Structure 1
Amino acid sequence: GTVVLHAAPEAAIGGPLALVRSGDFIELDVEARKLHLDVSAQELARRRESWLPPVPAMRGGYQGLYVDRVLQADRGADLDFLVGCRGHAIPRESH
């Protein structure tokens, strides 16, 4: 079967996956590289209004560094303070 390994932006920062609820239907179109959540725009707006970001159990050390400073996958999943220091271009399609 088909497996989706990663989707961005992350649900933890309020990406569309944060609005998915148990029982929702999600359509995967591999050729078009798209996920479609079969929920009305009105319902998604209602869910977004009540969405709160999750609070990590721990924010210190490397976990805190990762949560606070690593960019989303579609932006390279690198540390934000290294962008521009060593070149940040992705030379080819990475997904």
Structure 2
Amino acid sequence: MKKLIAVIIATALTSSAALAAGIHTVTLDVTNMDCAVCPITVRKALEKVPGVTSAKVDFATKRAEVVFDPAKASVDALTKATADAGYPSHIKQGQ
């Protein structure tokens, strides 16, 4: 019984570590946002990209924080999505 519990715990730890390693967060500087509604458009465009878990867009800083699975999405896909919506973006300097 103790061995079974040890195996279950080891499997759970390995699985959670693998899941955590598969998720990335990137901050994008977004241009052309000039009103309070613009972040909604940017967020919706980012959320449509397959692999995006969440997107938070801040009008005051003109930045988007995107959590995504790099096996399903790329930074290029994220910046293309914002550009296609009329809001070009690029990775925040220093990332």
More helix per residue: 1 or 2? 2
State which structure, 1 or 2, has the greater radius of gyration over its C-alpha atoms. Answer: 2
RCO higher in structure (CA 8 A, sep ≥6): 2
When the two structures are superposed, what TM-score results if normalisation uses the length of structure 2? 0.25
TM superposition score normalised by structure 1: 0.25
